[in-house]
Each structure stands twice: as structure tokens, then as C-alpha cells.
Amino acid sequence: MSEKKREYHRSRSALIRFKYDPLEELVLNHKRILAKIEEQDLIREGKLILLDSNGKQRGYSYEIHMNLYDKLTKISEALIRYSYARVPETVNVNDDRPNVLIINTTKKGEQYKIGDVDEDTD
């Protein structure tokens, strides 16, 4: 058995021993954050009033609301790997067209291009 497989099995058995499933934890956090976002929506609409420890009404905070969306996005990105294949993060652009040869003629400003694709000519 290779060293990578041994390490994988050791890590997996440790998670089982601790009764910890990272995927399950991500899903639970996703659900908790969705509930918090719904709570923020209700506070913003005035349908839910929360009080702080001093008995004062807690107001709506767009910073908290947007931070919750950011956290939700990060968790979703981590979870999406379990459903779909990862897309490469770099784009390889292969431009195999030959370079255009530009020849300047005797008149100033005139050019004759070889290998240039012109839409007007066939």
C-alpha cells in the first residue's frame, strides 16, 4: 500500500473515531446560515424585532447580511466539488493564427497586409 493511501486511511479512521464528518458539518453550517439570512430578511422587512441584552431593539445591518451571503458562497463552493467535476481555474488560449506581415509602402500611412483576414474581401 502506498504512503498516500496509508495516510488517507489514518485520517479517515481518525475522523470516524472523533465522530466528525466534514461534509455533514458543511451542510449543517449551510442550513444555519440560510436560517440566519432569512432572519435578516425578516428584520429588514420589519416582520421580526430582536432585542439586545439591554432591551433595545436590534436594527437591520446590511454588513451582517452580506457577510452571511459571503459565508454561504464559500460553503457552497466547497460543497459543489462533491456534485460536479472541478473546472480548471486557468484558461489556456491557443492562438495558432500566423502573425500578420505588415509592409509599409512609399506613401505615408498606406499599408499592405499579408495574411490578414479582411471581412470585406473573400
Give the tens place of pLDDT for each residue, 29-50.
999 999 999 999 999 999 999 8
Q: What is the pTM of this model?
A: 0.57
Split at pLDDT 50, 70, 90, the class of 121 is: low
Distance CA 78, CA 80 (A): 6
Q: Which residue range is the domain that position 70 belongs to? A: 3-80
- 112 in a structural domain: no
Q: Within a domain: residue 87?
A: no
Give me the number of domains the chain comprises: 1
> Which sign does the torsion angle of CA 40, 44, 45, 46 carry?
positive
Contacts for 23 with CB less than 8 Å, ≥ 6 apart: 79, 82
pLDDT value at 90 more than 50: yes
pLDDT at 122 over 50: no
Contact 112, 101 (CB under 8 A): no
Q: CB of 103 within 8 A of CB of 112?
A: yes
112 three-state secondary structure? strand
pLDDT band at 5 (very low <50, low <70, confident <90, very high): confident
Which stretch, 51-60, 93-102, 108-117, has highest mean pLDDT?
51-60
Residue 41 and residue 62: Cα distance in Å, rounded?
Answer: 10
Residue 17 located in a structural domain: yes
Across all residues in the chain, what is the average pLDDT?
82
CA–CA distance, 62 with 43 (Å, rounded to integer): 11
- Domain annotation covers residue 60: yes
Give the residue-averaged pLDDT of 90-117: 69
Query: Greater confidence, 53 or 92?
Result: 53
